Amino acid sequence: MELNRASSVIFAERGPGVAENETSASFWTYTAGLAFALLLTAASFIVAQTNLLWPAGVPAGLAVLAVAQMGVHLVFFLHIGTDSEGTNNVLALAFGVLIVALVVAGSLWIMDHLNVNMLTPAQMAEMQR
Amino acid sequence: MSAQEGVADLAVREVPRAASGAGPSPVRIVVGYGFWIYLLSDIILFSALFATYAVLRGQTAGGPSGHELFELRHAGIETLCLLCSSYACGLAVLAMERRRVSAFYLCCALTFLLGATFLSVELGEFAGLLARGAGPSRSAFLSAFFSLVGLHGVHVTVGLLWLIFLVAQTAYRGPLDYVRRRLLCFSLFWHALDIIWVALLTLVYLMGAR
């Protein structure tokens, strides 16, 4: 009895990849993840290759599908959940996402402005005269 | 009996106390969390290359663009291989936890074969590009393409070598605690590579081939 109480307290914390109850339902978790991922992949290919979506909206649609699929992988394969025991994992993930967003969006923003403000060779020659 | 063993095992472990004050976390949790931090840093490394590719993808220097080069059929096969490989890897972890030896080896073999198929398709694609004169030195776009996709390929290669090592260790040592923790880390690594591939497929292939 004492032992059971001790182990239930100790195992209250969860790590990535460790499912809540590893001996039950995990097979179906992975299988559901595979099914969702296949569905989303198929949707991405369809959106990219047909004119089902408004053409100008296709990149946004693909981005949404990709984010959804990453979410499926995180929840079903890596077992990163929103339950109270997994707070550490979610916090680390949130920080990672912040850095990735800063790097990617910042690079695109800065380089786009540089491109817009770049002088053409003809303008350079004009200024040097 | 197993609960007693578990507690005896915990008593000799030297791990920091959990912030919650509930006592030391099991090593499996601590190891998984540490490896998760590494994986996030790896994803940040990839994000730098993603940003480079996104900036340079129009800079073809008069050479071929993604629209002319990429074949979605190849990308589709690669995606399918990697996804099923990830699934098989998850099942291998489950088989290990339930001590089902033959299922474990079968799932590991599937993981390896699908991963190797992915690599061979990718290498075939690279060889095709090089044969068309579209190597990494052709344009800034292709340099960024080969660095980004190549780094992912290198990760997959390392993962396959790691898997061989893990299976050999399991066969030699049996399903000991530390072997199972290494398998857990490998599965996290393999799933994370799949996440990176989703971003890569979308940005490079699906958006690039249009």
Nearest by CB to B32, from A15, A70, A100: name it: A15
Residues A32 and A74 reside in one and the same domain: yes
Query: Looking at per-residue confidence, does B55 or B6 come out higher?
Result: B55
Residues A58 and A96 reside in one and the same domain: no
Q: How many structural domains are present in chain B?
A: 1
- Choose among B82, B107, B111: nearest CA to B94: B107
Output the domain CATH number for residue B205: 1.20.120.80
Residues A75 and A89 reside in one and the same domain: no
Please indicate whether, in this complex, the C-beta atoms of B35 and A16 are within 8 angstroms of each other. Answer: yes
Please indicate whether, in this complex, the C-beta atoms of A10 and B24 are within 8 angstroms of each other. Answer: yes
Residue B96 lies in a domain: yes
- Evaluate if residue B12 carries a pLDDT over 60: no
- Evaluate if residue B32 carries a pLDDT over 50: yes
Residue A12 lies in a domain: no
- Evaluate if residue A24 carries a pLDDT over 70: no
Question: Does residue B57 contact residue B141 with C-beta atoms inside 8 Å?
Answer: yes
Can you give the pTM of this predicted structure? 0.84
Residue A19 lies in a domain: no
- Evaluate if residue A9 carries a pLDDT over 60: no
Strand partners, B17: B24
Q: What local confidence, expressed as pLDDT, does residue A23 receive?
A: 44
Q: How many residue contacts between A and B have a Cβ separation below 8 Å?
A: 150
Question: Does residue B184 contact residue A18 with C-beta atoms inside 8 Å?
Answer: yes
Q: What local confidence, expressed as pLDDT, does residue A3 receive?
A: 44
Residue B202 lies in a domain: yes
Q: What local confidence, expressed as pLDDT, does residue A83 receive?
A: 65
Nearest by CB to B207, from A59, A99, A107: name it: A59
Q: How many structural domains are present in chain A?
A: 2
* Closest chain B residue by Cα to residue A34: B87
- In tens, the pLDDT along B62-111 reads 888 888 889 899 999 999 999 999 999 999 999 998 888 999 999 999 99
Residue A13 lies in a domain: no
Cα separation, B104 vs B109, in Å, equals 9
Residues A34 and A58 reside in one and the same domain: yes
B52 to chain A nearest CA, in Å?
8
A29 to chain B nearest CA, in Å?
10
B134 to chain A nearest CA, in Å?
24
The structure tokens listed for B192 are 């994370």
Please indicate whether, in this complex, the C-beta atoms of B87 and A108 are within 8 angstroms of each other. Answer: no
- Evaluate if residue A1 carries a pLDDT over 50: no
Domain extent, residue A100, equals 85-129
Q: What local confidence, expressed as pLDDT, does residue A7 receive?
A: 42
Q: What local confidence, expressed as pLDDT, does residue B195 receive?
A: 96
Residue A128 lies in a domain: yes
Cα separation, B97 vs B175, in Å, equals 9
Mean pLDDT computed over every residue of chain B: 88
Give the mean pLDDT of B118-137.
Answer: 94
Residues A65 and A90 reside in one and the same domain: no
Residues A109 and A69 reside in one and the same domain: no
Please indicate whether, in this complex, the C-beta atoms of B51 and A16 are within 8 angstroms of each other. Answer: no
Range of lowest pLDDT (A50-54, A74-78, B75-79): A50-54
Quick one: DSSP state of residue A120? P
Residue A66 lies in a domain: yes
A36 to chain B nearest CA, in Å?
11
Residue B8 lies in a domain: no
Q: What local confidence, expressed as pLDDT, does residue B48 receive?
A: 96
Cα separation, A95 vs B40, in Å, equals 9
Please indicate whether, in this complex, the C-beta atoms of B22 and A37 are within 8 angstroms of each other. Answer: no
| Burial label, B90 (beta-carbon count in 10 A; 0-12, 13-18, 19+) | buried
Per-residue pLDDT band for A108 (boundaries 50, 70, 90) equals very high
Please indicate whether, in this complex, the C-beta atoms of B206 and A73 are within 8 angstroms of each other. Answer: no
Per-residue pLDDT band for A40 (boundaries 50, 70, 90) equals very high
B15 and chain A in contact, CB less than 8 A: no
Q: What local confidence, expressed as pLDDT, does residue B20 receive?
A: 56
Question: Does residue A28 contact residue A53 with C-beta atoms inside 8 Å?
Answer: no
Residues A91 and A115 reside in one and the same domain: yes
Residue B10 lies in a domain: no
List of residues 6+ apart from A91 with CB closer than 8 A: none
Residue B116 lies in a domain: yes
Please indicate whether, in this complex, the C-beta atoms of A95 and B40 are within 8 angstroms of each other. Answer: yes
* Closest chain B residue by Cα to residue A113: B55
The pLDDT > 90 percentage for chain B reads 68
Cα separation, B200 vs B39, in Å, equals 17
Residue A44 lies in a domain: yes
Residue B32 lies in a domain: no
Domain extent, residue B156, equals 71-210
Q: Which of B31, B35, B40 is the mutation pick for testing A, counting most A CBs within 10 A?
A: B40
b/e code B44-71 from CB counts within 10 Å (16+ = b): bebbebbbbbbbbbeebeebbbbeebbe
